[in-house]
Amino acid sequence: MAQRRWLTIVVFFLLGLLGAGAITYLMTPQYQSEAKVYVSTEVTGTDTSLAATANFIAIQRVQSYAELARGRELMQRVIARLKLDMTPGDLAAKISSSVVAQTTIVDIKVTDESAAEAQRIAKAESEALTEYLTEVETPFGASKSPIKATISSPASYDGSQVSPKPVLNLVIGAVIGLVVGVAMALVRDLLDTTVSSSDDVEKTLDTPVLANIQYDSDVPKHPLLTEAASHSTRVEAFRLLRTNLQFLDIDTRPRSLVITSAVPSEGKTSTATNLAIALAQTGLRVLLVDGDLRRPKLASVLGLERSVGLTTVLVGRSELQDSIQKHTDSGIFFLASGPIPPNPTEVLQSRAAQELFDRVSQMFDMVIIDGPPLLPVSDAAIMARDVDGAILVVRHGKTTKEQLRQASVRLAQVDASLLGVTVNMTPKRGGKSYGYGYGYGYGPEKPKA
């Protein structure tokens, strides 16, 4: 999962870092001053019972003293003393008070945007608290309190900000981003119904994967195998596909194939063209046929003429031998689609089309037909029935398992053989594949003469 979804994890990790960095940058620096008030008993003489009572009171009430330190009455006194322009609630939000464990010391901390102002407030707060505790603990009618509050640690000055803490914030942001990224990767993996491995294909169809063709950013500019380095990953993939074709059926080796896909933009045209080139490089006479009579692309890819080809031969407007062109660079022979007919399906299921495919299979060592996708139209299934079988091209991370299953059903419905599957545009590293921009659209189109 991590290998295929690494990009999701990295994106959320970086978002966590960026978010923490942005929050840290936008936060106003805060400074802190600390003061301590020690509460003791104020009893003299030999009356031990009175002293014990006073000490017990101090210990039991020290937590209440910490609460009083942030009480409204004390806040009003500090505001009046310092002439602050804020409410008691605003001031209380700047102050924290607690009891130091196992002591009768009240620890007061004041946080403010200014270190000097934090110290000024902490000083006034500690002084006001000592006075206030003496007042509230003096019994009615008595002149002296049994409790004595003393400032044991004057308000400190610290020029180092207590918040934000950039390093800590970035670590927390990174951890949160990483956790969210892994969670999102898991969710995407659970919800992903696309073909993302050879195992997905074999589990869905029980059909062999003949080759995995890796994504190559150079394909749009140099689509042909003859333009790639002889030991490139793409060239090796088509050599493997060529080799695996020889083992499909040892006794009756296929001599005519339809290369198709479930839906448009899976890379079938590129696969058909380069498979034909790879076969021709072994010395075979290979004919590449543009059987896509709706959106023909092969002529433009090869830089050859499209006006004469399959349809002109079928209607008798040209002879087969005269309609076949040769691509000089690759050595393959090419039969273009010819003019687009108004009824492609009927043309391809005609007896004349069947006889033509039989005829070219006798003329050449191998015939590769680039057919349209199976799910939008039935043309490719019809041609696959009339030749030795079909190879289905699926696009990594785009073709869904259900589309793959439906494409197989389309072929089975006409008793066409699905010889194998080629997984196209597999990523070099985990994650989704990328597109080459060979767009198809199978909607109504005005027929061309």
pLDDT digits (tens, 9 = 90+) for 316-361: 999 999 999 999 999 999 999 999 999 999 999 999 999 999 999 9
Question: Would the pLDDT of 55 be above 70?
Answer: no
122 or 191: which carries more pLDDT confidence?
122
Contact 175, 15 (CB under 8 A): no
Give the type of residue at 361. S
Asked if the 31-153 domain carries CATH number 3.30.70.1130, the reply is: yes
Cα atoms in the 13 Å half-sphere on the side-chain side of 249 = 12
Task: Name the pairing type of β-strands 286-290 and 366-370.
Answer: parallel
Distance between CA 179 and CA 171 in Å, rounded? 12
Least confident window among 2-6, 11-15, 330-334, 431-435: 431-435
Question: Would the pLDDT of 270 be above 80?
Answer: yes
Distance between CA 72 and CA 77 in Å, rounded? 9
Distance between CA 412 and CA 60 in Å, rounded? 87
Residue 194: its pLDDT value, please?
86
Question: Would the pLDDT of 175 be above 90?
Answer: yes
Residue 420: its pLDDT value, please?
93
Polymer length of the chain:
449
pLDDT confidence of 43, banded at 50, 70, 90? low
Contact 235, 202 (CB under 8 A): no
Contact 420, 260 (CB under 8 A): no
For residue 421 the two structure tokens come to: 């599957």
Domains of the chain by residue range? 6-26+165-186, 31-153, 195-426
Beginning with the edge strand found earlier in the chain, give each strand of the sheet holding 286-290 in spatial order.
Answer: 209-214, 418-426, 390-395, 256-261, 366-370, 286-290, 333-335, 325-326
- Topology agreement, domain 31-153 and domain 195-426: no
Cα atoms in the 13 Å half-sphere on the side-chain side of 74 = 26
Least confident window among 280-289, 355-364, 435-444: 435-444
Contact 37, 159 (CB under 8 A): no
Question: Would the pLDDT of 289 be above 90?
Answer: yes
Residue 115: beta bridge partners?
none
Distance between CA 188 and CA 180 in Å, rounded? 12
Q: Is the dihedral of CA 11, 16, 17, 23 positive or negative?
A: positive
Residue 334: its pLDDT value, please?
97
Residue 88: its pLDDT value, please?
94
Residue 249: its pLDDT value, please?
67
Contact 146, 64 (CB under 8 A): no
Supply φ then ψ for residue 385, to 5 degrees. Answer: -65, -35
Residue 137: its pLDDT value, please?
82
Helix (H, G, I), strand (E, B) or coil at 308: coil
> Alpha helix (H) ranges present in 34-165?
48-68, 72-82, 88-94, 115-137
Overall average pLDDT of the 117-140 stretch = 91
The mean of the pLDDT values for the chain is: 87
Question: Would the pLDDT of 434 be above 50?
Answer: no
Distance between CA 134 and CA 148 in Å, rounded? 7
What's the CATH code, domain 195-426?
3.40.50.300
In the DSSP assignment, the letter for residue 228 is S
Supply φ then ψ for residue 206, to 5 degrees. Answer: 55, 45
Distance between CA 227 and CA 251 in Å, rounded? 34
Distance between CA 109 and CA 95 in Å, rounded? 6
Cα atoms in the 13 Å half-sphere on the side-chain side of 209 = 21
- For the chain, report the end-to-end CA distance as a whole number of angstroms: 52
> Alpha helix (H) ranges present in 150-267?
166-191, 198-205, 233-245
Overall average pLDDT of the 424-430 stretch = 74
In the DSSP assignment, the letter for residue 1 is -
Cα atoms in the 13 Å half-sphere on the side-chain side of 150 = 7
Task: Single out the residue of 236, 324, 250 nearest to residue 285, CA to CA.
Answer: 324
